[in-house]
Structure 1
Amino acid sequence: MLKIQEIRELIKLIDQSSINEFNYELEDAKITLKKGGGEQVVQQTVQPRVEQAAPAPQVQAQPSQPSESKQEANSGNSEPVKEMDETLHKIESPMVGTFYASPSPDEDVYVNTGDKVSNDSIVCIIEAMKLFNEIEAEVNGEIVEVLVENGQLVEYGQPLFLVKKQ
């Protein structure tokens, strides 16, 4: 099974290329990525022969102007972050889904502001289509800020945490 980081890299590569559809199958896992026409569908199936499609309304607006929306987000309220980009890393959502800060409602959150993380530390869960995906920090450092609320819907590429690299 591919890790979230590997899937994220595949999405970036396909988004930058002229490829419109990509299929990957290994044992009982299947991933299908499609783009074009203002629509991007990401499928991940754990059991064979089960088709799943991302909700179209949430995904359609995403890829139509990705560079403009990132520029608008950066130009508006994150000027101080631009100056510190060398030391701060944004942990971004690899998919559209619901953000959960803890493994279950009655357990403690994975990370708080000020916590130290390593590149393989789990920082949260994103639920997408009844699948719970553990998100890893990807860097060694300290959590500077949690940017989303527990239970909040998040978009693909939306920053979830700011981490001061070490």
Structure 2
Amino acid sequence: MKETNIRKYAELMKELGLTGLEITEENSKVRLERSIAAPAEETLYSVPGTAANMQTAAGSKDYISVKSPIVGIFYTAPAENADPYVSIGDTVKKGQTLCIVEAMKLMNEIASNEDGVISEICVTDGQVVEYGTELFRIRR
């Protein structure tokens, strides 16, 4: 694939607000990804295993917002017919797995960084989520 075509696709991604694009032409395949910077005081994200994938929801210190640290597909359970990791009203502990976000065939577990009660699940099973998409609200 020519560099000029790649640049055109990158500009199209920026214009449309996309964070990922995969193009297959003849025998070549190119995947473009970009991150969208957000104001630091407003949003905190983390890759699974780090300390900050939660944020206090705007206007309320009683809720923590769990946001997606990556672009991918949101799954509520470890397998298709398995029980979901958590449901509304469940009490969760720090370090407990809340869901999986699949990115590029890798299953990334998203864990809770604080104890609390699941008050809202903001996305549906199988939904594509962007970097920063709110996944859960946890009541402290």
Q: Structure 2 length normalisation: TM-score?
A: 0.63
More helix by share: 1
Q: What secondary structure does 2:58 align onto?
A: helix
Q: What secondary structure does 1:133 align onto?
A: strand
Partner of 1:128: 103
Q: Which runs of structure 2 are paired with 1:15-26 in the superposition (5 Å)?
A: none
Partner of 1:83: 59
Q: Which runs of structure 2 are paired with 1:90-129 in the superposition (5 Å)?
A: 90-129=65-104
**Tell me, which stretches of 5 or more residues in structure 1 are unaligned?**
1-37, 42-53, 72-80
Q: What secondary structure does 1:135 align onto?
A: strand
Give the percent of matched residue pairs that are identical in Structure 1 and Structure 2.
36
Separation in 2, partners of 1:82, 1:135: 21
Partner of 1:149: 124
Deviation track 1:76-124 (CA, whole Å, cap 9, x = no partner) reads xxxxx5332x110011111010000000011011101000001111000
Deviating beyond 3 angstroms after TM superposition, the runs of 4 or more aligned structure 1 residues are none
Q: What secondary structure does 1:161 align onto?
A: strand
Partner of 1:163: 138
Partner of 1:56: 32
**Aligned-pair RMSD on alpha carbons?**
2.4
Aligned length: 98
